[in-house]
């Protein structure tokens, strides 16, 4: 493989790698943005619902005795299309409220794990612990978000990013071809100089025109001219240093 081909391959690989890394970083940033927005939305709905429930708990009502519990959850369920399920459970994880689901199905039966939002491939789950005024457990609020909408947006965004990367690759291809042509043209000058050096070592005259018909740059013209001067001086110096025949020697 020639030097020009190696350089061309290296440039193409670097460009493809840079374009791929940029696309992947943009995709990850977009995914993080969607997840952050969904997380904030889940936290807001969960906090508002928990405040309503804590207000009832603070006046001495038990969650099991709240008549409007399903109404509160249904009203919060309609605040966002991503929220798929909401439920209230007791401290042992048993269901207290009705099985409220946007799709009409049952709520998630995953054991209660209070803390941050838990993400998996299909849903995001948040369990919020409810306490009374004495700090004792009064139950828990579960909120489940459907990730199908977010995943659909991510797939659409990835397709658009890949399409943009392909368009960018095609758009820059003429520039890469021009760059490679310029590199190959300059490489020919060095190859010609190298071949002429080999002829000089063998004592042969220069027969290469160094691509004088090419459109050379100023630096290339200066380089070729300097080389010709050096070669001419070397040839003239070699001729002058050659021993002349003496009187005692007879020409052959």
What residue segments make up the domains of the chain, in order of their start? 3-146, 179-239
Summarize pLDDT for 164-182 with one digit per residue, the tens.
Answer: 888 888 888 888 777 777 6
Which range, 114-128, 160-174, 186-200, has the best average confidence (pLDDT)? 160-174
pLDDT tens for each residue of 47-84: 988 888 888 888 888 888 787 888 888 888 888 888 88
Q: Are 53 and 72 in contact (CB under 8 A)?
A: yes
Nearby residues of 13 by Cβ (< 8 Å), 6 or more positions away: none
Q: Is 71 helix (H, G, I), strand (E, B) or coil?
A: helix
- What tokens were used for 240? 């002058």
b/e for 136-171, b at 16 or more Cβ within 10 A?
A: eebbbbbbbbbbeebeeebeeebeebeeebeeeeee
3-146 maps to CATH 3.30.450.20:
yes
């Amino acid at each position: 493989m020639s030097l020009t081909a190696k350089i061309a391959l290296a440039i193409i690989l670097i460009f493809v790698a840079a374009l791929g890394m940029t696309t992947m970083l943009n995709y990850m940033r977009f995914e993080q943005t969607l997840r952050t927005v969904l997380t904030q939305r889940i936290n807001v709905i969960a906090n508002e619902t928990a405040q309503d429930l804590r207000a009832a708990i603070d006046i001495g009502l038990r969650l099991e005795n709240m008549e409007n519990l399903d109404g509160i959850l249904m009203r919060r369920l309609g605040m966002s299309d991503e929220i798929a399920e909401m439920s209230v459970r007791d401290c042992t994880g048993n269901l207290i409220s009705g099985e409220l689901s946007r799709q009409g199905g049952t709520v998630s039966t995953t054991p209660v794990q209070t803390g941050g939002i838990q993400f998996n491939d299909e849903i995001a789950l948040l369990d919020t612990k409810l306490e009374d005024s004495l700090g004792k457990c009064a139950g828990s609020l579960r909120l489940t978000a459907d990730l199908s909408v977010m995943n659909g947006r991510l797939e659409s965004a990835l397709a658009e990013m890949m399409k943009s990367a392909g368009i960018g690759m095609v758009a820059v291809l003429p520039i890469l071809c021009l760059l490679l042509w310029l590199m190959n043209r300059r490489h020919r000058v060095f190859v010609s100089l190298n071949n002429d050096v080999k002829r000089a070592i063998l004592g042969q005259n220069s027969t290469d025109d160094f691509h004088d018909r090419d459109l050379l740059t100023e630096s290339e013209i200066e380089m070729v001219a300097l080389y010709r001067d050096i070669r001419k001086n070397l040839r003239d110096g070699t001729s002058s240093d050659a021993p002349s025949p003496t009187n005692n020697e007879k020409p052959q």
